[in-house]
């Protein structure tokens, strides 16, 4: 499944990202018990996006180098214009 993703880490930047439409997640609940849950649709895409953050990945890491560089150049330009330190 493909969704247009964005991220607060890269403000106002979006791209179509292919992700699994259904996933199974294992997690510890509040009592420390291991749980498993199947998730699909937008919820699955959101979980994959957030799990990627835990692994140090951003949605742009799934793009071709050309598309990724376009987005990163746009962000660099916005920073320069706003005089925000890198």
Q: For residue 79, what pLDDT band results from cuts at 50, 70 and 90?
A: confident
List active site positions. 50
Q: Where are the domains of the chain?
A: 2-82
Report the length, in residues, of the chain: 86
pTM (2 d.p.): 0.83
User: Would the pLDDT of 6 be above 90?
Assistant: yes
Tell me the CATH number for domain 2-82. 3.90.45.10
Instruction: Share the mean pLDDT of the chain.
Output: 94
Listed in sequence order, the residues at least 6 apart from 14 whose beta carbon sits closer than 8 Å to its beta carbon are: 4, 5, 6
Of the listed ranges 16-20, 33-37, 39-43, 82-86, the least confidently predicted one is 82-86
User: Would the pLDDT of 85 be above 80?
Assistant: no
């Amino acid at each position: 499944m493909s969704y247009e993703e964005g991220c607060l880490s890269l403000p106002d930047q979006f791209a179509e990202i292919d992700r699994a439409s259904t996933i199974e997640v294992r997690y510890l609940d509040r009592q420390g018990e291991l749980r498993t849950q199947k998730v699909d649709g937008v919820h699955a895409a959101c979980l994959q996006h957030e799990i990627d953050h835990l692994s140090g990945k951003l949605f742009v890491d799934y793009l071709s180098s050309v598309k990724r560089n376009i987005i990163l150049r746009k962000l660099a330009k916005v920073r320069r214009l706003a005089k925000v330190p890198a």
